[in-house]
Amino acid sequence: MKLEELHANLKILNSNKIVVMKSGSFYKTFGDDALILWKMFGYRINSGVACFPITSFGGVIGRLNRAGISVIVNNSDGVINYETALENTYNEYLENAINSNIINNKIEEMKDKIQKKLNEDINNYNRIDEFLEKL
């Protein structure tokens, strides 16, 4: 069974927890869980997957638990549950990460449009600069 399928199976029973999967010298997570790791730690998302090195494991799990997010880990020792004693804040962090992702995508879209306008005509620079000053 592929790692993503194992993740999906564990996620069904743990929808309000981050599920991470050990893969070589990294831990991987997918989908919404990847968005939370991106927002909290700045880990890149590539094709819906966020990874972090095993050397960061303790810090990542500790920070997630302190934030009120429980974690399910699937590694060579089996499945381990790192429950947080705090109120579960998974959904709050997920909503925040989704909103941040939407905003970042809009900013990238704006950057592309601005660059295109500048490439079309250098005189657009002054109009763009005036617009940005008004913000």
Work out the pLDDT band at 106, boundaries 50, 70, 90. very high
**Cβ atoms within 10 Å of 93's Cβ, excluding its own:** 21
For the packed helices 31-41 and 3-13, what is the interaxial angle rounded to 10 degrees?
A: 90
Statement: residue 1 has pLDDT above 70: no
Statement: residue 13 has pLDDT above 70: yes
Average pLDDT, the chain: 89
Tell me: the pLDDT tens digits for 26-84?
999 999 999 999 999 999 999 999 999 999 999 999 999 999 999 999 987 778 888 77
Tokens of 107: 């900013």
CA distances (Å), 23 to each of 38, 76, 94, 99, 130, in order?
18, 9, 24, 29, 50
Is the domain covering 3-82 a CATH 3.40.1170.10 domain? yes
**The pLDDT value given to residue 88:** 86
Say how far apart CA 38 and CA 98 lie, in whole Å.
10
Work out the pLDDT band at 12, boundaries 50, 70, 90. very high
Say how far apart CA 58 and CA 108 lie, in whole Å.
33
Say how far apart CA 114 and CA 129 lie, in whole Å.
10
**The pLDDT value given to residue 57:** 94
